[in-house]
């Protein structure tokens, strides 16, 4: 007798041995999208691996556009995003979890705009559960030779499930916990929210299983290994420590505990230490800064730039990441379309750096911050272009952290133009000069067309500088956790417990060295507070654009530090020419701050489930 399995939240087998994702309308209103005869599947290791690849493909879409969440911080403006691709049915499309109302990506008023992310994360959870449940059944009768491979599949699926739940608790705190495949909505129609500590413990159990079963090195590029499980387990503990250390008053029933924080910092550091010491891992290209071109040229770019190109796919620095298929696969990423200019395959520049990030890049001569840039307009005589430390004087950017050249483009910096998959040569960026003729060093150029920029800077990071791939067909493997991030998280965890430690200082200096910066001065590691500031500084410039900053701000409870207390005048974001662009947190009430620290449980889910409580600031 055939056993027909109805698959909720997941789809059918598609090309490239991947599962595509089907309809995911909301957590409690699912329709079956396919039926697979059980007797014809879940028989071999190949079946289990195919299902796992579908799990990766499904979960990818709630993580591979985390650069959109960078707008919740103060250094990146996200004004929207490219329209999602259309290869998926019923509006479940690439990036759909990131689509929402106006303001979803701003530094404030975003906590009620992420209902789709909530739903799609549970879609990822259910896909993982489907794989785990069925492979566990296979393990009951599997041969001894097949068991290790099947356990690896379960371990990877549990790692992905833990990753989904980690994002859920990081945004919503207490959440329902689904430990098995949902076959009928009645199974979850009355599930209450589980206290965050219990969900955290389940995540830790998943990641511990994954660590025990996964190989030391991934079976193939795009799959996870022990270091990924350890790094994520350490990060979960670091966040748990942060919430217990700094508090989370917006989460009802959560009581911070100093002893719990210390224990969590300690176990996080232990996991990070194993990642760092036990697997022979090194930073991309050995952590060497590489070479850098002169100001205004872009033929020679630092190694940091190439860390965010497909040449780095599968590199040891990228511990937990999601692959993309590239041209013709329907699995491409749209980084170039979202971060590139019209000059680059008619890209749309939905994401660009804010003015204030430039001052975070330190001097390679002094190892400290350079004099603050002065916003200036060129003026009728062009004096603004030559004034010392002027933000529009290209020479003001000399001798800066190599990661600046690799990440940003400022006035008179060059980038490659691309049209119809072919290079159109170099185009200079000049703020407020779009597709205009300009002569530089006696050579005629046309300025780039950065549609939508309002800061004076655009990103070089993530934007390809070679032809042959369309704006929506990228094959870059999006990093969720990198080794450099682990270095910095280890430094943060150990500093929180014991203050600055020699090994942690050395690791922060390794991250700095890739930018050609000298080691931290003794004054930067004098005590916990100063070393924390140095760690935060490195997180800002090392992880810019990677979707980390907003989560750091929330777990450190730093909104008031950055934007001022409730009811204050707020903070202007300006541009390189000195114009006020947007003022954030002006006369903002305390309730809005509270809402920015914790997200709203989607009202639609509460309408369907009477046992779902709401987070206090949203009542």
Could you report the per-residue pLDDT of 533-563, keeping only the tens digit for each?
999 999 999 999 999 999 999 999 999 999 9
Distance CA 601, CA 113 (A): 10
Find out whether 202 and 195 touch, Cβ atoms under 8 Å.
Answer: no
Asked if residue 31 has pLDDT above 50, the reply is no
Nearest-5° Cα angle at 406, 405 to 408: 65
Q: Compute how many other C-beta atoms are within 10 angstroms of the C-beta atom of residue 326.
A: 16
How do the residues of the chain divide into helix, strand and coil, expressed in percent and rounded to 5? 40, 10, 45
Give me the pLDDT at residue 330, please.
84
Give me the pLDDT at residue 582, please.
97
Give me the pLDDT at residue 184, please.
86
Find out whether 345 and 336 touch, Cβ atoms under 8 Å.
Answer: yes
Name the pLDDT band for 14 (thresholds 50, 70, 90): very low
Q: In this predicted model, which residue has the larger pLDDT, 28 or 231?
A: 231
Name the pLDDT band for 348 (thresholds 50, 70, 90): very high
pLDDT tens-place string over residues 466-506: 999 999 999 999 999 999 999 999 999 999 999 999 999 99
Give me the pLDDT at residue 95, please.
61
Helix or strand (DSSP H, E) at 148: helix 147-172
Distance CA 415, CA 394 (A): 15
- Report the share of the chain in percent with pLDDT over 70: 91
Overall average pLDDT of the 158-174 stretch:
98
Residue 467 CB contacts under 8 Å (≥ 6 apart), including other chains: 416, 418, 421, 422, 423
Give me the pLDDT at residue 85, please.
45
Q: In this predicted model, which residue has the larger pLDDT, 597 or 92?
A: 597
From residue 339, how far is each of 91, 108, 179, 363 by CA, in Å? 24, 22, 38, 26
Asked if residue 267 has pLDDT above 80, the reply is yes
Give me the pLDDT at residue 453, please.
97
Give me the pLDDT at residue 97, please.
80
- Report the share of the chain in percent with pLDDT over 90: 87
From residue 592, how far is each of 250, 565, 596, 598, 601 by CA, in Å? 11, 11, 6, 10, 16
pLDDT tens-place string over residues 451-470: 999 999 999 999 999 999 99
3-state secondary structure labels for all residues of 173-235: CCECCCCCCCCCHHHCCCCCCECHHHHHHHHHHHHHHHHHHCCCCCCCCCCCCHHHHHHHHHH
Give me the pLDDT at residue 394, please.
97
pLDDT tens-place string over residues 53-109: 999 999 999 999 999 999 999 999 999 887 654 433 344 445 678 876 667 899 999
Q: In this predicted model, which residue has the larger pLDDT, 584 or 94?
A: 584
Give me the pLDDT at residue 33, please.
40
pLDDT tens-place string over residues 106-164: 999 999 999 999 999 999 999 999 999 999 999 999 999 999 999 999 999 999 999 99
Residue 24 CB contacts under 8 Å (≥ 6 apart), including other chains: 9, 30, 92, 119, 120, 123
Q: Compute how many other C-beta atoms are within 10 angstroms of the C-beta atom of residue 565.
A: 12
Give me the pLDDT at residue 99, please.
73
Give me the pLDDT at residue 248, please.
98
Q: Compute how many other C-beta atoms are within 10 angstroms of the C-beta atom of residue 478.
A: 23
Give me the pLDDT at residue 19, please.
36
pLDDT tens-place string over residues 408-431: 999 999 999 999 999 999 999 999
CB neighbour burial string for 11-40, b if at least 16 within 10 angstroms, e if fewer:
bebbeeebbbbbbbebbbebebbeebeeee
Instruction: Take residue 358 and report the two structure tokens written for it.
Output: 């430039």
pLDDT tens-place string over residues 177-196: 999 999 888 899 999 999 99
Overall average pLDDT of the 311-318 stretch:
96
Overall average pLDDT of the 569-584 stretch:
98
Distance CA 145, CA 597 (A): 49
Mean of the per-residue pLDDT values of the chain: 92
Alpha carbon dihedral 460, 462, 468, 471, in 10-degree steps, equals -100
Q: What are the CB-based long-range contacts (under 8 Å, 24+) for 187-193?
A: 188/27, 188/28, 188/609, 189/28, 189/608, 189/609, 190/609, 190/610, 190/611, 191/609, 191/611, 191/612, 192/611, 192/612, 192/613, 193/601, 193/611, 193/612, 193/613
Asked if residue 206 has pLDDT above 50, the reply is yes
Instruction: Take residue 557 and report the two structure tokens written for it.
Output: 């409870």
What is the DSSP track for 561-615?
HHH-STTS--EEEE-TTS-EEEEESTT--HHHHHHHHSPPPPHHHHHH-TT----
Overall average pLDDT of the 1-27 stretch:
32
Distance CA 95, CA 60 (A): 10
| Residue 485 DSSP code | H
Q: Which CATH number fits domain 4-276: 1.25.40.390, 2.60.260.20, 3.30.70.1450, 1.20.1530.20?
A: 1.25.40.390
Residue 483 CB contacts under 8 Å (≥ 6 apart), including other chains: 275, 276, 281, 282, 283, 316, 317, 318, 319
pLDDT tens-place string over residues 361-420: 999 999 999 999 999 999 999 999 999 999 999 999 999 999 999 999 999 999 999 999
Instruction: Name the phi and psi angles at 351, rounded to 5.
Output: -130, 130
Give me the pLDDT at residue 98, please.
83
Distance CA 203, CA 224 (A): 16
Q: Where are the domains of the chain?
A: 4-276, 331-469
């Amino acid at each position: 007798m055939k056993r027909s399995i109805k698959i909720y939240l997941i789809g059918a087998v598609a090309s490239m041995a991947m599962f595509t994702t089907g309809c995911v309308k909301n957590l409690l209103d699912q329709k079956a999208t396919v039926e697979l005869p059980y007797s014809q599947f879940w028989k071999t290791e190949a079946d289990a691996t195919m299902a796992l690849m579908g799990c990766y493909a499904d979960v990818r879409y709630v993580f591979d556009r985390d650069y959109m969440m960078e707008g919740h911080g103060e250094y990146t403006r996200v004004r929207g995003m490219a329209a999602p691709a259309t290869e998926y049915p019923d509006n479940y499309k690439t990036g759909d979890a990131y689509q929402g109302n106006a303001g979803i990506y701003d530094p404030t008023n975003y906590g009620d705009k992420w209902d789709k992310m909530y739903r799609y994360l549970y879609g990822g959870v259910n896909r993982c559960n489907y794989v785990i449940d069925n492979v566990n059944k296979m393990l009951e009768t599997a041969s001894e030779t097949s068991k290790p491979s099947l356990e690896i599949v379960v371990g990877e699926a549990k790692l992905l499930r833990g990753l989904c739940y980690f994002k859920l608790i990081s945004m919503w705190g207490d959440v329902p916990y689904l430990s098995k495949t949902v076959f009928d909505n009645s199974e979850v129609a009355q599930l209450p929210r589980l206290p965050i500590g219990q969900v955290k413990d389940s995540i830790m159990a998943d990641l511990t299983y994954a660590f025990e079963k996964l190989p030391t090195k991934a079976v193939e590029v795009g799959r996870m290994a022990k270091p990924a499980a350890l790094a994520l387990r350490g990060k979960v503990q670091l966040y748990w420590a942060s919430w217990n250390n700094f508090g989370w008053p917006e989460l009802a029933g959560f009581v911070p505990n100093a002893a719990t924080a210390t224990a969590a910092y300690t176990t996080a550091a232990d996991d990070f230490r194993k990642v760092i010491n036990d697997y022979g891992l090194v930073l991309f290209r050995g952590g060497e800064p590489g070479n850098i071109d002169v100001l205004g040229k872009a033929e020679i770019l630092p190694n940091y730039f190439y860390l965010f190109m497909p040449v780095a796919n599968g590199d040891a620095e990228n511990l937990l990441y999601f692959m993309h298929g590239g041209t013709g696969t329907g699995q491409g990423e749209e980084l170039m379309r979202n971060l590139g200019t019209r000059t680059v395959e008619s890209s749309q520049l939905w994401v660009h750096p804010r003015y204030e990030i430039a001052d975070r890049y330190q001097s390679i001569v002094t190892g400290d911050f350079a004099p603050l840039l002065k916003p200036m307009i060129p003026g009728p005589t062009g004096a603004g272009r030559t004034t010392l430390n002027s933000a529009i004087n290209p020479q003001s950017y000399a001798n800066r952290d190599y990661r600046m050249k690799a990440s940003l483009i400022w006035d008179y910096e060059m980038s490659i133009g691309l049209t119809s998959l072919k290079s159109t040569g170099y185009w200079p960026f000049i703020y407020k000069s779009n597709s205009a003729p300009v002569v530089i060093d006696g050579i005629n150029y046309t300025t780039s067309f950065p549609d939508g920029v309002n800061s004076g800077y655009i990103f070089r990071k993530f934007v390809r500088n070679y032809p042959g791939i369309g704006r929506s067909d990228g094959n870059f493997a999006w990093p969720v956790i990198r080794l450099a991030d682990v270095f910095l998280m280890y430094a943060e965890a150990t500093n929180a417990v014991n203050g600055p430690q020699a090994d942690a200082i050395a690791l922060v200096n390794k991250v700095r060295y890739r930018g050609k910066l000298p080691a931290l001065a003794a004054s930067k590691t004098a005590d916990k507070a100063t070393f924390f500031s140095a760690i935060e500084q490195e997180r800002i410039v090392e992880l810019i654009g990677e979707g980390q900053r907003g989560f750091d701000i929330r777990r450190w409870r730093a909104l008031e530090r950055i934007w001022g207390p409730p009811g204050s005048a707020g903070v202007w974001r300006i541009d390189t020419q000195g114009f006020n662009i947007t003022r954030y947190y002006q006369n903002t009430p305390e309730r809005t701050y509270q809402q920015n620290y914790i997200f709203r449980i989607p009202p639609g889910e509460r309408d369907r489930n009477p046992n779902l409580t709401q987070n206090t600031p949203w009542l």
